[in-house]
Amino acid sequence: MALLWFTLSALCFVCAGVLLYVDIGRRRSRGHRRKSWARSHGFDYMPQDKEIVKRWNRGVMSSAGSAAAANVVLGQIRGEAVYVFDLEDVATIIALHRKVGTNVMVDLRLKVMQEPRESDIWLLGAIGPRMVYSTNLDAARRACDRRMVTFAHTAPETAEVLWNEQHWTLAALPINSNREQWDEGLKAVRQFNDLLRVLPPSGESAPSPIQAAARPSRPVGSNAAPVADRQPAPVGQGQPQGR
């Protein structure tokens, strides 16, 4: 019996070692692919950054906790900073800075995704395959015009969650997304950012984070179901969503 338990323990140890080796190899491969993608766009790459995740707390980032950003890419698009990074094994995040911020947050996510975790966000309605949530339903309703309807139907499914907060517009992609999907996600974030220009400005203008330091990389170029017209209801039943 002792020999049996020893054999089982040894097998478990070997399996754990194999899984660890595979995981390390997978992470290294992802880092190499991200670094190559960054170089092709003229962006900069760093393996890890523990500080940038503190910039955001909405959308997928609301459950980030103390997670660090890995395989971080930093660059510019039309003079605005853009970050691409992995949030541990949760998601790949794309964040685009905008000069004029807004206090109105809009969350556009696929219907299959879990509802937002924030307690101050309300459900506006559905646009095709996506649900719309916001902290200001009146302002969000004005943003949901024909262009937003078209975008909701044509945005890549890999951009599972799109949202904004203050001077940033972000998207969450699957952690196993590839370089073509990063390009698609970057395009989707730029489009979503443009659609949100109708939101009331916060009155504060913020320079791009890159402008505060030496620029590390060269600039780069740049039949739908309507939102339910019934009286919008908050996430949950009659009250703002809470978790």
Give tens-digit pLDDT for 139-174.
999 999 999 999 999 999 999 999 999 999 999 999
pLDDT (0 to 100) of residue 4? 58
pLDDT at 205: 56
209 burial type by CB count under 10 A (0-12 exposed, 13-18 middle, 19+ buried): middle
Q: Residue range 197-223: average pLDDT?
A: 60
- pLDDT tens digits, 74-127: 999 989 999 999 998 889 999 999 999 999 999 999 999 999 989 999 999 999
Give the 3-state secondary structure of residue 140: helix
What whole-number distance in Å separates Cα of residue 60 and Cα of residue 167? 17
Give the per-residue pLDDT at 243: 38
pTM for the complete prediction? Answer: 0.76
The pLDDT of residue 28 is above 70: no
Q: For residue 225, with 0-12 CB atoms within 10 Å meaning exposed, 13-18 middle and 19 or more buried, which class applies?
A: middle
pLDDT mean over 1-14: 58
